Amino acid sequence: MKLKVYDTTLRDGEQTPGISLTPTEKLAIALRLDELGVDIIEAGSAITSKGEREAIQDIAHENLNAEIASFARILKEDVDYCLDCDVSMVNLVVPTSPIHMEYKLKKSPGEVLNQAVNVTEYAKSHGLKILLSAEDSTRSDMNFLKEVFKQTISAGACRICPCDTVSMLTPEKSLNFYKELSSLGVPVDVHCHNDFGLSTANTLAGIRGGASEFHVTVNGIGERAGNASLEEVVVSLNQLYDNYSTNINLNQLYSASKMVSRLTGAYLEPNKAIVGENAFSHESGIHSDGMLKNSHTYEPFNPELVGNHRRFVLGKHVGSKGLQNRLEQLGIYTTNKELSKIFDLVKNLADKGKIVTDADIQAISDYVMDIAEDTKVDLQEVTIVSSNRVTPTASVKLGLENQMILEAGIGVGPVDAAINAVNKGVKEFADVELEEYHVDAITGGADALIDVIVKLRLGNNVISARSTQPDIINASVEAYIIGVNRLLEIKKKQDE
């Protein structure tokens, strides 16, 4: 059975406290959702503001494959704003629980029903497709809920959505709840929130109960504990169920997740299912050894399915097989005796709470194997000019084998300027890309030590490097130089 995906990242997701997207950001996310294969994009709530209407209209005018919808209350004014935005569908939301009708609307059930029918007829007469959503339906009287749906269907609603607004369902209740509402003559949507951590499970149960469309947000963002997660639901359907499918391009899920996290500023937990940084990371010696022999020993599916990749993390739980695998990826080949010594030193370092980076491994390996590092790039000097009125500028003096290079660069900040200057200096030897940059203050106070970790790429080789100093600029440049030298050394060995 082919299911439809209704994405509400730009409406329900944006209601996450602290998230406020510009029209440009909303359009960028909408374009990515369309590439992802989402069937319907709820672009926002047209009544909210002028900027919101601008964003919804921009998205509607892109002629995307996805259908574009706007949220609306059961007010003709809301519908008029939706019409101004040129959307093809309206998500007309009707509060149906006693607590919502009495305290929020201050209306009787009969008044709410009449208003819902009148506004549905109004939207239908103006050419809009209508998804009739019952807000807080899982705390509503079932007979009244059915009556609302029956009369609004007669008035023109083409789909209905009983919303689990405050997460009152369990998977068992969800199955029966959506099954009972799947015989009213129109397709049913399932919309679940995550207050008890059950939104994905309840959504899957709702689908089993007869829902043919499900509402989700990228990364599960949304107010309070969030909404059902797009990536969790679609991958669960793909991997755990044989009779359901969607139009989602699974291999774009990881990149879409990262984009939404970046534009919204919503932190993505490392252990987030499917798209978290730890979802396919392995540290335990037993796990790493099993993974090296057969990846399915400790992974339910290959990370490439969702556009992610596998990582072996070196820490206190690392095993000798995992360490040896990482050493060989770095171009370091050891005897059994050398591997044993490196293993002990890595464990000792990790036991002290230190993150064991590739730079640490290289230093330990050089010590154990008595190999002097062939430093191709040596930082002699770095100078920064930066103020509120001057574009941040950096000049660097680099020692490159037997020559001295002076270069300058500008950037959005002093760190960016310094790294750009270094990149210009080493361009002759390597076109290095900065993939990730992370900074932490190790201690508190104004004199805190700054710990900088960078991840660099040269061709197919990716390494991380680290530096800890009181000055963020020096730490950043030193980490970058360490990484560049390591990449050049790897490239040299590969070319031999």
Highest-confidence range of 237-251, 354-368, 391-405, 416-430, by mean pLDDT?
237-251
**Among the ranges given (37-46, 231-240, 454-463), the one the predictor scored with the smallest mean pLDDT:** 454-463
Distance (Å, whole) CA 385 – CA 487: 29
DSSP state for residue 250 in the 8-state scheme: G
User: Looking at the predicted structure, is the pLDDT value of residue 31 above 90?
Assistant: yes
C-beta separation of 85 from 53 below 8 A:
yes
For the chain, what is the mean pLDDT? 87
Distance (Å, whole) CA 399 – CA 294: 45
* pLDDT for position 359: 62
CATH topology for 281-369 is: Recoverin; domain 1 (1.10.238)
User: Looking at the predicted structure, is the pLDDT value of residue 444 above 50?
Assistant: no
Highest-confidence range of 19-28, 144-153, 400-409, by mean pLDDT?
144-153
pLDDT tens digits, residue range 300-350? Answer: 778 888 988 776 666 666 778 778 887 887 778 888 988 888 888 788 767
| Token pair listed for 160 | 């209905």
Q: Give residue 358's pLDDT band: very low, low, confident or very high (50, 70, 90).
A: low
Of 415, 427, 404, the C-alpha closest to 480 is 415
Extended beta strands in 193-262, E state: 213-216
Mapped onto helix, strand or coil, the DSSP state of residue 290 is: helix
Mapped onto helix, strand or coil, the DSSP state of residue 410 is: strand
Distance (Å, whole) CA 229 – CA 5: 11
* pLDDT for position 324: 85
**Chain center to CA of 95:** 31
Q: Give residue 293's pLDDT band: very low, low, confident or very high (50, 70, 90).
A: low
* pLDDT for position 290: 55
Distance (Å, whole) CA 51 – CA 73: 19
User: Looking at the predicted structure, is the pLDDT value of residue 152 above 70?
Assistant: yes
* pLDDT for position 286: 46
Q: Give residue 222's pLDDT band: very low, low, confident or very high (50, 70, 90).
A: very high
Q: Who has greater pLDDT, 61 or 432?
A: 61
Q: Give residue 126's pLDDT band: very low, low, confident or very high (50, 70, 90).
A: very high
For residues 233-259, average pLDDT:
96
User: Looking at the predicted structure, is the pLDDT value of residue 443 above 60?
Assistant: no
For residues 9-17, average pLDDT:
95
C-beta separation of 457 from 449 below 8 A:
no
| Token pair listed for 248 | 């989602």
Share of the chain above pLDDT 90, in %: 54
Which residues, including other chains, have CB under 8 Å from residue 265's CB and lie 6 or more apart?
18, 19
* pLDDT for position 308: 80
Distance (Å, whole) CA 211 – CA 214: 7
Residue 388's φ and ψ, nearest 5 degrees, are -65, -25
The C-alpha angle with vertex 206 and arms to 205 and 208, in degrees rounded to 5, equals 65
Q: Give residue 284's pLDDT band: very low, low, confident or very high (50, 70, 90).
A: very low
**Chain center to CA of 73:** 29
- At the second CATH level, the architecture of 377-495 is 2-Layer Sandwich (3.30)
Share of the chain above pLDDT 70, in %: 88
User: Looking at the predicted structure, is the pLDDT value of residue 405 above 90?
Assistant: no
Distance (Å, whole) CA 75 – CA 115: 8
C-beta separation of 93 from 75 below 8 A:
no
Q: Give residue 162's pLDDT band: very low, low, confident or very high (50, 70, 90).
A: very high
Q: Give residue 487's pLDDT band: very low, low, confident or very high (50, 70, 90).
A: confident
Rounded to 10 deg, the angle between the 76-84 and 50-60 helix axes is 50
Strands 403-410 and 390-400 turn out to be antiparallel
CATH topology for 4-264 is: TIM Barrel (3.20.20)
User: Looking at the predicted structure, is the pLDDT value of residue 155 above 50?
Assistant: yes
Which residues, including other chains, have CB under 8 Å from residue 320's CB and lie 6 or more apart?
285, 339, 340, 343
For residues 98-103, average pLDDT:
96
Q: Give residue 442's pLDDT band: very low, low, confident or very high (50, 70, 90).
A: very low
Domain range annotation of the chain: 4-264, 281-369, 377-495
Q: How many CB atoms lie within 10 A of CB 238?
A: 16
List 129's β-bridge partners, or say none: 89
Q: How many CB atoms lie within 10 A of CB 77?
A: 12
The number of residues making up the chain comes to 496
Extended beta strands in 238-360, E state: 281-282, 311-312
Residue 293's φ and ψ, nearest 5 degrees, are -85, -40
Phi-psi region of 252 (alpha: psi -120 to 50; beta: other; left: phi over 0): alpha
User: Looking at the predicted structure, is the pLDDT value of residue 471 above 80?
Assistant: no
**Chain center to CA of 8:** 15
For residues 188-217, average pLDDT:
98
**Among the ranges given (137-141, 191-195, 261-265), the one the predictor scored with the smallest mean pLDDT:** 261-265
